[in-house]
Amino acid sequence: MDNEPKSSNHHLENHNPLESALQNMMTFAEYAKTHHSTLYTYELSIGNKSLYYFGAKHVFDHESPMLGQIRTSFEEFQPDIVFIEGPIWDDEKVKKISAMPIKDVVASYGETGFTLRLAIDKNIPWHAPDPNMKEAFNYLPTQGFSKDEIFTWFLLQAARLYSKREHESSFEDYAKPYVDFIKSSTDWSIFDFSPNRALQLGEQILGRPINLKTLHSEMPNLHNPIPSKDRTLIGVIDAAWTDYRDQKIVTDIATELEDNDRIFLTYGASHAVMEEPALRKLFASEKNQWDDLRLTAS
């Protein structure tokens, strides 16, 4: 199994501006060599098109000074549309956020919810470019991962959350929503979706026993996609999925710039850093005709 997602290749030439930009996405091996601040912001412009990327630290404290920086940047930039992180922002949640005190918005939804609230209050359209998790179960097999590996990767996320808190329920009961979701999102026939089997497979992948009481504290970087001597197959799968997410974000930026002149994004700082070479390539294109960017990367 390769340690880098298949799509990360800086040496492919392509005449389509978007596809050419996507080939400039930073790889995780390159990212591992970078050093950047926890807040990473930049603004790109070409003609009348502009992008402000606020690479944030994930916070849930309404007194965090970073929130004031987001607000100031947002108000000074005056966006036409706002991009926010996270794939699940249904109408019910948005309605709830619009009525909550800001303190509660931040406590529940962090800086992402805070940015969404800014857009709601200013009546500015917003967009969540993240692919939903159902897409992961279709995409990851194309990258060479087996159903067992993908199932284990997904259920170990539940196991890590389970290990962070005291539970009266069994892991089997706690993981039921995860199992139900992956069942409804796939057409995997004759497949054993048992959470306990995921733990057994996890022990095989990790080469060590899994203690549900200490998993989070013992392996806090289990789902870390950055290459290291300790990265396991779980981290490699995370790298492939994160690369797909970053490509989707850049693709949606190109698409939205067809109809909007000013995009404001609040995303994790690592996304801002890894997408920057691709976005600079996109904005450096000699073709300032955004209709030419309609084609997504193959």
Give the model's pLDDT for residue 255.
Answer: 94
Pairwise CA distance, residues 58 & 39, whole Å: 10
Mean pLDDT of 256-274: 95
Q: What is the pLDDT of residue 191?
A: 96
CB 294 within 8 A of CB 19: no
Average pLDDT, the chain: 89
pLDDT reading at 77 higher than 80: yes
pLDDT digits (tens, 9 = 90+) for 3-36: 454 444 443 445 588 998 999 999 999 998 999 9
Closest CA to 83 of 118, 109, 38: 118
From residue 49, alpha-carbon distances to 103, 216, 293, 294 in Å are 33, 44, 13, 16
* CA 54 to chain CA mean position, Å: 14
pLDDT in tens, 81-137: 999 998 778 888 899 999 999 999 999 999 999 999 999 999 999 999 999 889 999
pLDDT of 188 strictly over 60:
yes
CA–CA separation, 133 and 4 (whole Å): 20
The most confident of the ranges 123-137, 210-224, 283-297 is: 123-137
pLDDT at 169: 85
Residues 149 and 141: their CA atoms lie apart, in Å, by 10
Q: What is the pTM of this model?
A: 0.85
Please provide residue 262's backbone torsions phi and psi, each rounded to the nearest 5 degrees: -135, 115
> What's the Rg (C-alpha) of the chain?
20
pLDDT for residue 228: 85
Q: Name which of 24, 71, 26 is nearest 52 in CA terms.
A: 71
pLDDT recorded at residue 11 = 39
SS3 50: strand
Alpha-carbon distance of 58 to 50, in angstroms, equals 24
Say which residue the tokens 């918005």 belong to. 105
Cα separation, 207 vs 131, in Å, equals: 31
Which pLDDT score is estimated for 4?
52
d(CA 284, CA 21): 9
- Crossing angle for the helix pair 176-185 and 147-163, to the nearest 10 degrees: 150
CA 160 to chain centre: 18
